[in-house]
Amino acid sequence: MSPRKLLAGLVLAAMLIPGSALAKKSKDAGVAVKVIVTTETGEPVSTAVIRHPDEADRHRVNAVDGSWEAAVLYMPDGTELVFEPGLTLRLEISAPGYMTQVIQYDVRKRNNKIPVSLSLLELESEEIEEPVIQFGRDRPRDETGATPAN
């Protein structure tokens, strides 16, 4: 066998072995689930975070398109929550200034895209007036702003 054919065979074998190992690993890694967080008008929410109710970590979305994608979550006790077809997935989606949403989704074999629309919080615009509490040791200031001497 010529050295050229031997080298070509080794290169071909090196290309095939890692490819099959990657295919096997991705099969065990779970199914990718993509959450796309937008406003009611369809604009991405760049400050949104996604979290599983049993998980301590918050996952930030992509600031450009408001998306987050994963195939597995790591729980605080060290276990892995692998997204497999048939799994009912619960996620909390929140962002500053928006109402938090809790969604429940059944994972499928493919095309797991979850659009989530967050609505703005309606805050009261009334100003809260803080009461002035005077203590017995407080002395009123004179018109110049200086505290009177004893």
Q: Per the domain annotation, does 144 fall within a domain? A: no
Q: Per the domain annotation, does 8 fall within a domain? A: no
Q: Per the domain annotation, does 48 fall within a domain? A: yes
Q: Write down the pLDDT at residue 118.
A: 95
Q: Per the domain annotation, does 149 fall within a domain? A: no
Q: Per the domain annotation, does 75 fall within a domain? A: yes
Q: Write down the pLDDT at residue 102.
A: 95
Q: Write down the pLDDT at residue 106.
A: 95
Q: Which helix or strand (DSSP H or E) is residue 67 part of?
A: strand 67-70
- Residue pLDDT tens, the chain, 150 long: 677 776 666 666 666 665 544 444 445 678 999 999 999 999 999 999 999 999 888 999 999 999 999 999 998 898 999 999 999 999 999 999 999 999 999 999 989 999 999 999 887 766 777 777 777 666 666 666 565 565
Q: Is 51 exposed, middle or buried (0-12, 13-18, 19+ CB in 10 A)?
A: middle
Range of the domain at 76: 30-118
With contact defined as beta carbons under 8 Å apart, do 55 and 49 qualify?
no
Q: Per the domain annotation, does 145 fall within a domain? A: no
Which CATH number belongs to the domain containing residue 92 in this structure?
A: 2.60.40.1120
- List for the chain the helix, strand, coil content (%; round to 5): 15, 30, 55
Q: Per the domain annotation, does 70 fall within a domain? A: yes
Q: Write down the pLDDT at residue 26.
A: 45
Q: Per the domain annotation, does 7 fall within a domain? A: no
Question: How many domains does the chain contain in total?
Answer: 1
